[in-house]
A and B are shown apart, each in its own frame.
Chain A
Amino acid sequence: MDFLTIIQVLDSTVRLATPLLLACLAGLFSERAGIFDIGLEGKMLAAAFFSAAIAAMTGSVWLGLLAGIAASLFLSGIHGLASITFRGNQLISGVAINFLAAGMTVLIAQSWFKQGGRTPSLMSEGRFNPIELPFAEALSDVPFLGPIYSELISGHSILVYVALAAVPATWWILFRTRFGLRLRAVGENPAAVDTAGVSVVGLRFAAVAICGVLCGIAGAYLATGLQAGFVKDMTAGRGFIALAALIFAKWRPWYALSACLLFGFLQAIALRYQNIDLGAFTVPVQVMDALPYILTVVILAGFVGKAVPPRAGGEPYVKER
């Protein structure tokens, strides 16, 4: 494997890891506040559809992004209503959101565009095009560092940089602000937060809303950044891989970045090399596809460190009567 190939695989890794990373951070906020969210997939799908649909109709990718975020926020609102206000089962609410999104996107797409559950292909202004960072062209001839800068770091759509910036931002919010401290506390011991006079319900809704915004960006990136339109079920299980990454990362932002990059890297390798020949035996492509899940199970089983979920996760908070 020569240097340029490594750069190309890493470049592909960044593209594939971005939706995972955004969805993973979304789940991080929600789960740190004690709301399990397996509806990441559904929210991304809804956001993917609405961003593509609005971008196709208005020709503006930014309006598309806003519409995607709004759709994802709406589903977050349903999840919050069901699991916080009405104290329903968070897993069931998440599953319902996944089904709702899978069905509604195709139904609305068919009724609006009559193209069989897809949106029309987006023109250039309806998409997030790759942006060239300054001097990318000029520096590309510099040995070693040049290609890294011009191929790997430059030339992604703006949402990739947003996703990468979201990692330190998440860390700072969760571990350096008062809001973050309370948010984590509400996921560990909501009664204590309540005793301190802070609204548990308010905090949890805030977390779920942040989750909605991040999922919205992830979905918009799929439909308007990586692709030029929506196709039914286009998230193809990425929301679940993001959940696996979240567990793999033990609910921490920087670990989330490395977990998503690792999972993205595995996918990129699997796409680049169908079967990996290790001399004595070949690794079939299916092994690479399954590896994220296998690694997650290994982590969950406690072989490598211990993944401890937020203590109050999954339990609706009931004030004492």
Chain B
Amino acid sequence: MSVMHKILGGAAALALSAGTLVAEPAMIFDLGGKFDKSFNESAFAGAQRWAEETGGTFREIELQSEAQREQALRRFAEAGSNPIVMTGFAFGNVLAEVAPDYPDTKFAIIDMVVDQPNVRSVVFNEHEGSYLVGMMAAMASKSNTVGFIGGMDIPLIRKFACGYAQGVMAANADATVVANMTGTTPAAWNDPVKGSELTKAQISQGADVVYAAAGGTGVGVLQTAADEGILSIGVDSNQNYLHPGKVLTSMMKRVDNAVYQAMTDGPDMETGFNVMGIANGGIGYAMDENNASLVSADMQKMVDDAAAKISSGELMVHDYMSDDSCPALSF
């Protein structure tokens, strides 16, 4: 009996010390999947950069269903991972419930605000970035009609659409914005066929630039836009390279920086509310050799001016999520 006790005690001590020694960060990807060429992939890139620079390792899981959210969070928290970073608004409710149970673990959630002492909430001013690419779309459009294709119809995606429409109107008050959502279930993030069909429908309504904020569905949008010879705008990550010369620009949401920062801060991460916008480099638009020929000097100047005004606070872009309405677009 006493031998057993010693063994058990030893094992427990070992487990405890292992727990404190390792304390590796963990990363939870949302249903869109780690390689959605967009939001989650950007998060993965940030975690990867942290791992390469520090030589550390991180644990990760790609969710397959809604039911796994709480399970995954608790598993990582109990295994001693710290901090635990998760992507996606859908974690909001679950995290608010789980976080108080693990007061010594730090959590970072992207795209949602969770008011707990051990949670860092990172939100992005997507409407600002969408405003910039909306201006570019309006200037690049010859038909004065531009399109927006969203993924799942949630307030966050409407925020993209609303910022975009405001940008379009700012650059060309006569322009028309055709906005569509792919669906109302998480399947809408991964339905490129529907994305293609929506693009074709928008083209037949006259759109010659489409902005896709739709995760994996956007792959179909960009493909069809390239096939049909119109311009498209990517989202979250830099997607210009997917169809060189056919993608006008990408609205960059530096999820990678947010993840990288959280992992670098480690268990001593400061918690609270973080807003990433144009002012602090969390939001921007992508310029590289793939789209250099598409963006004229005028266009770039106008967009950079607007960006400067937004970051100085001179220009306010309306945030759909602040009052659930949009002055430039009706849904």
Contacts and interface: CB of A to CB of B under 8 A. Distances in A.
Given A228-B223, A274-B331, A236 B187 contact: yes
Interface residues of A, number: 30
Interface string B208-242: 00000000100110010001000000000000001
Interface stretch (B7-15, B19-27, B125-133, B177-185): B177-185
B46 interface: no
Contacts of A121: 223, 242
Interface stretch (A8-16, A157-165, A186-194): A8-16
A14 B194 CA distance: 14
B87 interface: no
Interface in B313-331: 331
A45 to B, nearest CB: 12
A267 B197 CA distance: 10
Nearest to B181: A274
Nearest to B189: A233
Interface stretch (B134-142, B198-206, B283-291): B198-206
B176 to A, nearest CB: 14
- Contact residues of B: prevailing secondary structure: helix
Interface string B163-199: 0000000000000000111011001001111101110
A137 to B, nearest CB: 17
B268 to A, nearest CB: 32
Interface in B243-294: none
Contacts of B120: none
Contacts of A274: 179-181, 331
B201 A12 contact: yes
Output the residue of A229, A232, A236, A289 with the most chain B CB within 10 A: A236
Nearest to A109: B35
Contacts of B220: 227, 231
A230 to B, nearest CB: 9
A268 B193 CA distance: 12
Contacts of A233: 187, 190
A275 to B, nearest CB: 8
A178 B247 CA distance: 56
Contacts of A118: 35, 219
A67 to B, nearest CB: 20
Interface of A: 4-5, 8, 12, 15-16, 115-118, 121, 222, 226-229, 231-234, 236-237, 267-268, 271-272, 274, 285-286, 289
Considering the complex of A and B, which 7 residue pairs feature the smallest CB-CB distances, nearest first?
A116-B35, A236-B191, A8-B204, A272-B201, A233-B190, A228-B223, A226-B193
